[in-house]
Structure 1
Amino acid sequence: MDETLPVVVIGAGPQGLAAGAHLLERGLEPLALEAGDSPAAAVREWGHVRLFSDWSELVDAAAARLLGATGWSAPPSGHPLGSEWADQYLAPLAAALGDRVRTGTRVVGVSRLGRDRVVDAGRGEQPFVVHVQRADGSEERIRARAVLDASGSWAQPNPAGADGLPAIGERTAPSITYRVPDLRTEGGLAGRHVVVVGSGHSAMTAVNGLVRPGGSAPAARVTWVLRRGAVGASLGGGEADQLPARGAIGLHARRAVDSGAVELVTGFRIERFETDGGRTTVVAEDGRRIGDADRVIVLTGFRPDLSFLSEIRLDLDPTLQAPRRLAAEIDPNVHSCGTVRATGEADLAQPEPDFYLLGAKSYGRAPTFLAMTGYEQVRSVVAMLAGDGAAAERVELALPETGVCGGSGLLDADADLGTGSCCAPVQHVLQIGRRPVGV
């Protein structure tokens, strides 16, 4: 293997850029390939949404060291909008990495030089070949000593169909969107009938924004659709929730439902969409109908895009589509946010040597990913690529028992609901060997 080849990082989002910083610090040459027209392009698409993680949880340590040499200083504590995270941290980090970050460069395939998925002979000695397509349509082949796929799952929203596939009419219904609306620019929803599908924090954030009193956009008529038969823990623990920002989201949503501002429909598993005259009727498998929807907002989570990895040998959990050893730790059927531990190289290693899924993509369809976990993944994996097995095996992150769920905060901070980190009062502990070091 030619050790002078770069380590290709797929994606220039939070984990991809952090990987670049760690690789440089370890004396390895990174090359981050971003399909979007700017670094952190996906983050900018939800830039109007406020994170419920504090700034201290959103900046990678190696990235901060690289940026420090440029005169950059970390933002004060607080909960940034996605756009603020991108502008104040991710964009400067990409600038510090310079031409090691290429935008408008989509990875369409990854393979081993001269070896398809089936061939064993000499496989591990061959470099990777990363097939890319530029924004102008031209193609390129890039050889790499290792590949870190941090491309996330933002571009792969789950459909509304109850069986995991698009419902009848979903692909063609013009009223369906898969993003939390930016109410600063979508005032046209005022007084309209909006159906929100989903039970997670993104769905609650959308509901809260659509009905909040005194907001930047007048209220809409909202029907909130849950697949599950009962509300259960969908609205969070409220004031008893040890995650203050998550509790605030749930409290706001509960108030909206209790006040009648939102109609909550449970056990509604979508079979079809019927569109007539620009309005949509949502039909459940049991025949129930929700009619006259001007907009349907589907917020049912995301899934990884594995299509361009067909020639890479992967060992993924059949349920979550996450690395098998990691899946047992993040299965939402078993774990809450608070029981998911930090993960590292040993959890992420694949049958294809020197190939790793990192960041949100490593969690497959599980919803519990957070930036801090991704930064620890990056640190551990890069240490192994640099030959520092001891550092790779070490756990340098201790998550609070109420670790952050993936998701977002309220569209804007609400004084009456309080703000704060999604974690309980955060105490990060770096465990170096057996000696805890508080930071």
Structure 2
Amino acid sequence: MSEDGTAATSLQPGVRDALAARLAPVDDELARRYPGEPATRQPVHTVYVPADAYSARTVRAWGDQALELLDEHAPDARSLAAVLGMPDELAAPVHDRVRAKLEREPVEDLRIDFEDGYGHRPDAEEDAAAARAARLVREACAEGVAPPYTGIRMKCMEAAVRDRGIRTLDIFLTGLLEAGELPDGLVLTLPKVSHPEQVAAMAQLCGEFEKARGLPDGRIGFEIQIETTQSVLGADGRATVALMIDAAGGRATSLHYGTFDYSAACGVSAEHQALDHPVADHAKAVMQTAAAGTGVRLSDGSTNIVPTGPTSRVHEAWRHHHALVRRSLARAYYQGWDMHPGHLPTRYAAVYAFYREGMERAAARLAAYTGNAGADAAVMDEPATARALAGYLLRGLDCGALSPGEVARYSGLTRADLDGLSGRSAETGPNSAP
């Protein structure tokens, strides 16, 4: 130290400037590639409905069928808790929230399917179905009865169906614009991607549509469905999914795992194709690593075991689905597919229990971290863990598992506080609160 208290250094002042200049491009690239968690609500599930089966009653019909199954096979909190092995203290809060959800908003994310669930039809028939889907979505949005997120799954970019997929997308988006603008919760899904250039082509297609209709650049984003082995590991030995995110040019919103196509591509026999198979875990781990920090979210796939038939069989299917959803949540896959109305009760039961059972502990740790605890902390958390804790509570708020009052009572934090701790923007996205 010098006599005036200044710390002694050896490097010339210009060294820092030189390093800053050298790393400026890296700083810019990291900021572009890894913007962090989006400020929008992520749906807890996606429901796929074949385009020819979709109607104005679809969402309400799914909710009604789910409620009927619940009333028949688990009519009260105690019976549902017994089926799912839920602790007594969670039984009533979870059951009540599940029923309220099925009555108010049974589907969070709806995909009108023009791919596997629809198949190959005459062009005139698919044209009409795409125009009809646009009209029904437009009307649902105008009436305020649309799910928070709605869109289509088009056919893929493979040569045999490429033109058909492009035309369907064009008809659907053009039809939506008859209302004047695209809905906030619009979601598009590109399936069976096997090469980054297919993603780049989809990004170009979105850009061309924006130019044709005078939309802001980047207005249209899309999901990438991971259901081919080439989308996870390329022939060059690289993780193709990371290249796909880059190829999307900022338009990729999420990665969706396709359970059965991917399992079949790996040679897994039909009897063993499942969300918890080792090939599924590997694929999703690669997806998770590639997407981390990019703002691109993950969705797990589905189970094909549906809760139908006698009560014993319904209960068995419910336990199976509930366990898979809980497994996914523990692995940070906060979204999944539901293929049948009977999956809705166990989807929401698993999600609500996941957030409610950990709410007090997460809130207490954040209270200690922020100095609101008034006592010594039992766990000394770092900033990264505080971000995860805040994100956990925010997801619970978004889906309706938790209330702002509960979170504030245990943590002393507001929603804006949690947004700041999690790294989210204080602004909320479309339909950010249920």
* Interval containing the TM-score (normalised by the shorter chain): under 0.3
Kindly indicate which of the two structures has a greater share of residues assigned to strand: 1
TM-score, normalization by structure 2? 0.22
Kindly indicate which of the two structures has a greater share of residues assigned to helix: 2
TM-score, normalization by structure 1? 0.22
The structure number with the bigger radius of gyration is 2
